[in-house]
Structure 1
Amino acid sequence: MEFMPTIRFAGELPFTVVLAIALLAAFAVMWYYARETRTMASPYSYLLPALRAAAVALVIFILAGPVWHRRQEIGTLGKVTFAIDTSASMSMTDSSGSDTSESRIRRATRLLVGTPEHLGLVDQLSETHDIEVIGFGAAAPVPLWSNRDEETLETSLQLIAEDRRTNLASAVSAAIVEVDSDGVQSTLDSVAEESDRNTPQANAQSSDESESESKRVRSAIVIISEGRHNLGPSPVDAARRVAASATQVMTLGMGSEDEPVDVGIAQVIRPDSVAADGRLSGTIIVKQFGMTGKPLGLRIEHQNQTVWQHTITPDVEGEIEVDYDFEVSSLVEATQQATVRGVSRDAVALDLRAVVDSGVSSDSVGLDSGAPGNLMSENDSMPFRVAASVRDRRLLILDGSSRWETRYLRNLFQRDPAWRVDTVLYGPGTDMPSVTRGSQSGQFPADAEAISQYDAIILGEIPPEQFKHADAALLRHFVSRGGGLIVVDGRYQRVRKLAETFLSDLIPVNYAGGDAVIDGAKILPTVTGGEQPMMLLRQSENSDVTRVADMWSRLPPPQYVNQVQPQAGAEVWANTVSRDGKPTPWLVTRLFGAGRVFYFSSDQSWRWRYKLADELHARFWNQVLSAVMQPPYSASDSFVSLGTDRVEYAAGDSSLIRVRLQGPTGKPIGDATVDALLVTDDRVVATVALSIDDPSRGTYQGETQPLDPGAYEVRIRASGFDSTALQATTPIWVGTPNHAELRRVGLDKNALMQIAQAGKGSYFHESSADQLLEQLKPLSSGSVIESDVLIWQSFYWFWVVIALLTAEWLLRKRAGLV
């Protein structure tokens, strides 16, 4: 295959500079020459200056060094993609004392580019393979260079390893090859069967099969990394899919398996919110290598004041979990003192920071970093934020009997000072045989105002014969406006009747089969559910899907589960798996308007209390309530209430901003033009137009564009209000440092070997790059022939200039100027 020739420029001056000089010179020549030909007849008046100017421009253009480049492919080329990890762990030097040692990413670049004494991998393959180089980290892989580009490889690989996470799966998946319209794809291990084509059996195949074999796509991706995967789906699963798409996965390990000497904060586990008069408790995960037996100081700071501290002396290397617990009432009071007069806060954002201090200088442990006690000073501290709720949350429990699940949930939240719980039990066998509707405690909410005072509702097996269409409309209104609904199904089939009649659009499941229920052997989160913070039953699980699933599988199983199927658009976060291996949804969820609905197909979570009391049961249900509810408005003044869905975001996330607007008399204003302003250092950096949510309540909401890292203050601007009247503001933080990338930075050889094995390839260490080269060479049965013609040194260029000058001389002679 021959590609269309291209023109490249090899001069010392940039092409644009030479072009500008040539055009200026041509214009000057034409202007000067035109004085002589101005009075001549056409075409001599303009043709003569044009010929002279063109000749001058071509002579000057020699400075650009134009080169006529041709590329021709003979046979079938193998495709090799080199994927270089650009995450922060690749900036390690694997050295404890030399300042001049190369980082992993520099060594990886050198393996591809080569040195004056030794050709790189790319140079040794470029004549027989189609080569591409990509970079990957936390985001999608980015193309860096290919051997079809005009840029040199060395120029394109000026890389900086700074990404805060590593998604190996995205790099592996980037190698999936598209099937050509007349080509055939197969796995690369069939390359090893190349010799089989010469057997008598192979020669007996049809000519069509031979043609298909000759067009077989042969490709490989080489993952150049230390192998630490901490973002996205499993790279092993991705490698299996890639291998099925005719691409082989090779891995090239960079660095040493030994962890460098380092101390740091790996993670701070904390709740999203806490009661203003309560205690904040959680876990700090500290990593340490090379500091065994030495005291490490831990502390949590608020406004540069230490609010908690502890000292540990680790006896083993790795990660250590340290629990913390302290009161927040004084912190809330100190934060509120800075609040502008006239502004009240329902939630206060506590800006905290966890710090570890080894008390040992880097020189004493042979480090090349100036940070005390570790190699990477950036993970010595980690900021985190928690919203302290000043207003009590309100929960409504609706059920038709006092079953065990209802009793334990009511007791759990009634004991929590941050909650106000109203329980309405009605129906046959209860103290309220017939439901009473109204706005008082113990009554079913009778109107939108009564139901809107609650943050979440737990709906149990209420009598369907006492449920009305007006009740269903109220529940829809409640959820669509941001309320949280939790449906806990039971054995009496009452929820089923509601789902099939009044609430078919709200409850996110359809019932399968008859009235029978099945025994559930165990509960297992799905892939989607395992990634949800709500599903973490222990603080130390750290969103590891495997550990999360293992913990769930050891829970006491439910004795029965309703057989349901998720509706379109709903997500299954957990299944029960029966003794015969059949799964059925246990936890199904779906967004409904601005709110969310959770459906549980069994009411057996109270069994988790066996021998553990509230350790798992209380943690899970508190996380369920936090996940299903919208946070309250955090700040209010006389005219506006303002809130965001979170106080802390990852870089690139969007913030949901909610506003309630009212006039001087307290009447809701639902027809104003409202904007949210994001302010940094008293400078407006973004404006978000809010749309009307509910005119009758004067509520508005809007979503920001993906946010850049930084600290922001959210302010409101509304038509009809002076800028000084709307004083309520709320802070948000974006891009809090994530130290997942630095938890372990040593080479994970086993992970890379598993990826290579799943991708039907091989693993190599950087010291064995020559062996990798030998594995890649057989992928290609063709070659690339490239040729360059130095146009500016060729006789063609010279003859063009001579032809222009000759034509000009002949025309001058004909015009009588010679």
Structure 2
Amino acid sequence: MGTLLMGTLRFAGEAPLWMVVAVAAVAAAFVAWVYLRETKHLASPYSYLLPSLRATAVALTILLLSGPVLHRRTVVGKLGRVVFAIDQSKSMAVTDSGDPSSSPSRMRRSVDVLLGDGSHPGWLSTLKETHEVDVVAFSTGDPTLLWSSRMDEPLPTTFALDADGVGTDLASSLSLALDSFDANAVADEVESSAEQDSAEKLQQAALVLFSDGRDNAGRSAVDLAKELRLQSYAVHAVGMGSTDEPTDVGIVNVVTPESVASDGQLAGELILKQYGLAGQSVLVRIESAGKTVWQQNVTPLNDGQQSIPFELDVGSIVESLNTESQRGVQRSTVVMDLTAAVEPLGVVQGGDSVSENNSRSFRVAANTRDRRLLIIDGSSRWETRYLNNLFQRDPAWTVNIVIAGPGTDDVQLLRGKDDGQFPADRETMAQYDAVVLGEIPADLLSTNDIFLLKEFVTRGGGLIAIDGRYRQLRQLADGTLSELIPIRYDRAIPRLSAKSLELTTMGKEHPLMNLYGDSQNIEEFWSQIPAPKSVNHVQAQEGAEVWATAIGQSGIKSPWLVTRLFGGGRVFYLSSDETWRWRYKVADRFHARFWNQLLAAVMQPPYSASDEYVALGTDKIQYGPDESATIRVRLQDTRSQPVGDATVDALLIANDRVVATVPLSVDDPARGTYQGQTPTLSPGGYSVRVRASGFDESALQASTPIWVSQSESLEMRRIALDAGTLNQIAAAAGGAYVHESSAVTLLEKIKPLSSGSIVESDILIWQSFYWFWAVIALLAIEWWLRKRSGLV
């Protein structure tokens, strides 16, 4: 029994259809106009009906020149459905050959299987008469439909595809198949079948993946494959490429602080990956403005990733840069635009397969203004001593340590502007960037001291509270600073003996917690770092975020690092005071990095540029593609008085053109400060300037640069065929996995999905009697009406 699926009208004439239609319309209009001269005296409807019939007959006659053809497709039996999904991520551009110019890419080879390459017919031509076939391309996001047999379009000779996807989401194509498949139809078939106990025999749909299996985005493809199997939908996979990792060396990541003192040292790590170069030296270097400022020969011993520490003299780099700013503009930071690069030394057999990862740009701000840190404690604990020593040695910091209480040199808290004294007023307090609050006795802090601390954080300052075993901070957290410190103490279990530290989901995502450099091993690193002997058992307050927890000997978990925004500032709470133990055998490697990164996270960055009227700054100098920049502005008039009632916009300029305008809202009218956030920006460099009501644009000269980096991609870190992943997906959906070298065997598994066929036929309307009789009928009706009207 046949069912008409589709009938389409095609035109096979030599003349273009638009030309034939135009000629027919003109001719019909001319005939109607001439005819109207004869019929205008007749009564309606003869006056207009007769010209219309003659004009229509003339138009149909001329339209024969377009060669109309009625194309019909009829399905006989039950068609099987097949979806071919082609991976178009960057790794599919690899040729798996030492000579890329003479070998097609993985994606090109996938297309050749479907369309044929001259030596063998393509799968689409083999299946399109018996199967319902779709071809889609995917990387990340929604797949793109390339061709479908249901469109009733000719088989393409090629697909306009580029292997440029930034990631591979194998689940996206499976999700498309699951969403488009009519499970009810299969259920009806099973219910009406005499063999109801074997739904697999009624399986009439399959998805075929052409991929190298490097799944690095989206949800689990194996879980979706299991769902497809329940819907009697098979998933097959064709592995493209070689299972041997090709020779490659590249820079995976650069780990540095966001800022450093302009006269200090920039210490960081380069994360290098290499495959096929074990035992062969490579040159790793860092460049500034095209000049090499650091380099080292490295001989990798094993394939994979390794960390290479480096240290640069910032002063010499800043001096070599053209840091001359326009007249009247002062800068507190100088941006160092650096590039890390790697290259093999000597001849590399097979060549470097991926050249785009041989260099990586990164930027660090060199601060020309020292940061100021206030440390307050009730005793000279080990934690306090090491923190004081760490930042006293750092030329980028000025540290004021205040120790007061019983058993110290100062029984009472001294107040004033000098070292060793707690700030006595808001102006002195505002000079600090961050405060570290230890176990200071609560009765030493006056009401004004508490007010200054709260106001300091509210206006954008950073506070780090370090708890201990003396229960002094507990009194503050339960009393006058309860709204500031983001935890509540557990009365039933005051302290826990800890055996390890563990990051939460939020902690894993924040760069602060990456002390090792390799984000893939961050969980393992924190599980092995020396845990504190004991911690205070606390609970996070509502709205606070827990970034790390301490696991007790009995398995009880308690927040170890808790944070919360408070006004314009941020507060961190540490439930123990034993990070100094991380120095064991590794000195400052992890301890110094943690505290530098913690302070960078808790503080607001300073204004990077200022002139007579405006100070301008951003929270960072480099952003990811999904991040927005926080812009901060301070306005003052000609008398250096704050202006807190202006309408202020931040202008983002790229290539000498304003690409975005960001309205800024008033932050603190008394200080004349404003703040706003940019939308998500395209990758590239931008300059930020300010426009404000009441100020001439030429007067506001200060500007600051920001950069937006490209999407961080795992796509090219490993490019060998991952046959294991594809095998798991195929097995989960009851399908088969084959390598591309034996892909033809998979075609034999697909053919039995269909028990029907498509019969296509063409009716040449321009040669058929249907069209001829239509013209004759029109003329006959016209003749009959002419006779009735008295014209004949």
TM-score range, shorter chain: 0.7 to 0.9
- Equivalences, count: 785
What aligned pairs does 1:125-136 form with structure 2 within 5 A after superposition? Answer: 132-136=134-138
- Change in CA separation of 1:44 and 1:375 when aligned onto 2, cut-off 3 Å: farther
SS in 2 for 1:742: coil
Code of the aligned partner of 1:135: A
* 2:283 corresponds to: 297
Name the stretch that deviates more: 411-420 or 319-328. Answer: 319-328
- Displacement after TM superposition at 1:643 (Å): 1.9
Alignment match of 2:690 (pick from 676, 696, 716): 716
- Change in CA separation of 1:82 and 1:459 when aligned onto 2, cut-off 3 Å: farther
Name the stretch that deviates more: 604-613 or 283-292. Answer: 283-292
1:226 matched to 2:212? The reply is yes
Instruction: Tell me if structure 2 keeps the 8 A contact 1:90–1:103.
Output: yes
Code of the aligned partner of 1:421: V
- Displacement after TM superposition at 1:514 (Å): 2.3
- Displacement after TM superposition at 1:551 (Å): 1.4
CA distance, structure 2, for counterparts of residue 473 and residue 788 of structure 1: 88
- Change in CA separation of 1:817 and 1:591 when aligned onto 2, cut-off 3 Å: farther
* 1:306 corresponds to: 292
Code of the aligned partner of 2:398: R
1:389 matched to 2:367? The reply is yes
1:699 matched to 2:650? The reply is no
Instruction: Tell me if structure 2 keeps the 8 A contact 1:19–1:61.
Output: no
CA distance, structure 2, for counterparts of residue 7 and residue 31 of structure 1: 33
What aligned pairs does 1:767-806 form with structure 2 within 5 A after superposition? Answer: 767-773=741-747, 792=765, 803-804=777-778, 806=780
* 1:30 corresponds to: 29
Instruction: Tell me if structure 1 keeps the 8 A contact 2:392–2:398.
Output: yes
Instruction: Tell me if structure 2 keeps the 8 A contact 1:66–1:790.
Output: yes
Alignment match of 1:267 (pick from 235, 241, 253): 253
- Change in CA separation of 1:97 and 1:424 when aligned onto 2, cut-off 3 Å: same
Instruction: Tell me if structure 1 keeps the 8 A contact 2:13–2:65.
Output: no
Code of the aligned partner of 2:516: R
What aligned pairs does 1:727-766 form with structure 2 within 5 A after superposition? Answer: 727-736=701-710, 740-753=714-727, 762-766=736-740
- Change in CA separation of 1:752 and 1:682 when aligned onto 2, cut-off 3 Å: same
1:601 matched to 2:575? The reply is yes
CA distance, structure 2, for counterparts of residue 261 and residue 137 of structure 1: 24
Instruction: Tell me if structure 2 keeps the 8 A contact 1:264–1:380.
Output: yes
Code of the aligned partner of 1:525: L
Instruction: Tell me if structure 2 keeps the 8 A contact 1:336–1:348.
Output: no
- Displacement after TM superposition at 1:350 (Å): 0.8
SS in 2 for 1:379: coil
Instruction: Tell me if structure 1 keeps the 8 A contact 2:12–2:69.
Output: no
Deviation string 1:250-303 (CA, Å, 9 cap, x unpaired) is: 543211123334444343333322211111222334444555665543332212
CA distance, structure 1, for counterparts of residue 212 and residue 463 of structure 2: 45
- Change in CA separation of 1:522 and 1:639 when aligned onto 2, cut-off 3 Å: same
* 1:110 corresponds to: 112
Instruction: Tell me if structure 2 keeps the 8 A contact 1:586–1:601.
Output: yes
What aligned pairs does 1:168-567 form with structure 2 within 5 A after superposition? Answer: 168=170, 177=179, 222-230=208-216, 250-289=236-275, 295-314=281-300, 318-319=304-305, 321-335=307-321, 337-358=323-344, 374-426=352-404, 442=420, 449-463=427-441, 478-479=456-457, 481-491=459-469, 506-509=484-487, 514-539=492-517, 541=518, 543-544=519-520, 547-566=521-540
- Displacement after TM superposition at 1:602 (Å): 3.3
1:684 matched to 2:658? The reply is yes
CA distance, structure 2, for counterparts of residue 640 and residue 474 of structure 1: 26
CA distance, structure 1, for counterparts of residue 229 and residue 491 of structure 2: 40
Instruction: Tell me if structure 1 keeps the 8 A contact 2:261–2:396.
Output: yes
Please tell me whether Structure 1 or Structure 2 has the larger radius of gyration of its CA atoms. 2
Name the stretch that deviates more: 231-240 or 454-463. Answer: 231-240
CA distance, structure 1, for counterparts of residue 699 and residue 216 of structure 2: 47
Q: Over aligned residue pairs, what C-alpha RMSD do you find?
A: 4.6
CA distance, structure 2, for counterparts of residue 766 and residue 123 of structure 1: 19
CA distance, structure 2, for counterparts of residue 14 and residue 670 of structure 1: 75
Query: What are the ranges of 5 or more consecutive residues in structure 2 without an aligned counterpart?
Result: none
CA distance, structure 2, for counterparts of residue 248 and residue 66 of structure 1: 38
Instruction: Tell me if structure 2 keeps the 8 A contact 1:111–1:121.
Output: yes
- Displacement after TM superposition at 1:105 (Å): 0.9
CA distance, structure 2, for counterparts of residue 601 and residue 61 of structure 1: 88
Instruction: Tell me if structure 1 keeps the 8 A contact 2:323–2:334.
Output: no
Instruction: Tell me if structure 1 keeps the 8 A contact 2:20–2:65.
Output: no
CA distance, structure 2, for counterparts of residue 61 and residue 605 of structure 1: 89
- Displacement after TM superposition at 1:716 (Å): 2.0
SS in 2 for 1:608: helix
Query: TM-score of the superposition, structure 2-length normalised?
Result: 0.83
- Displacement after TM superposition at 1:677 (Å): 2.3
- Displacement after TM superposition at 1:25 (Å): 4.4
* 1:206 corresponds to: none
CA distance, structure 2, for counterparts of residue 493 and residue 806 of structure 1: 110
- Change in CA separation of 1:770 and 1:276 when aligned onto 2, cut-off 3 Å: same
Code of the aligned partner of 1:412: L
Instruction: Tell me if structure 1 keeps the 8 A contact 2:240–2:740.
Output: yes
- Displacement after TM superposition at 1:103 (Å): 0.7
- Displacement after TM superposition at 1:731 (Å): 1.8
- Change in CA separation of 1:565 and 1:594 when aligned onto 2, cut-off 3 Å: same
Code of the aligned partner of 1:343: V
Name the stretch that deviates more: 457-466 or 350-359. Answer: 457-466
* 1:634 corresponds to: 608
Code of the aligned partner of 1:100: S
Query: TM-score of the superposition, structure 1-length normalised?
Result: 0.81
- Percent identical pairs in the alignment equals 50
CA distance, structure 1, for counterparts of residue 651 and residue 3 of structure 2: 53
- Change in CA separation of 1:43 and 1:126 when aligned onto 2, cut-off 3 Å: same
Name the stretch that deviates more: 521-530 or 115-124. Answer: 115-124
Alignment match of 1:665 (pick from 629, 632, 639): 639
What aligned pairs does 1:612-631 form with structure 2 within 5 A after superposition? Answer: 612-631=586-605
Instruction: Tell me if structure 2 keeps the 8 A contact 1:483–1:630.
Output: yes
Instruction: Tell me if structure 2 keeps the 8 A contact 1:383–1:737.
Output: no
* 1:207 corresponds to: none
Instruction: Tell me if structure 2 keeps the 8 A contact 1:566–1:585.
Output: yes
SS in 2 for 1:519: strand
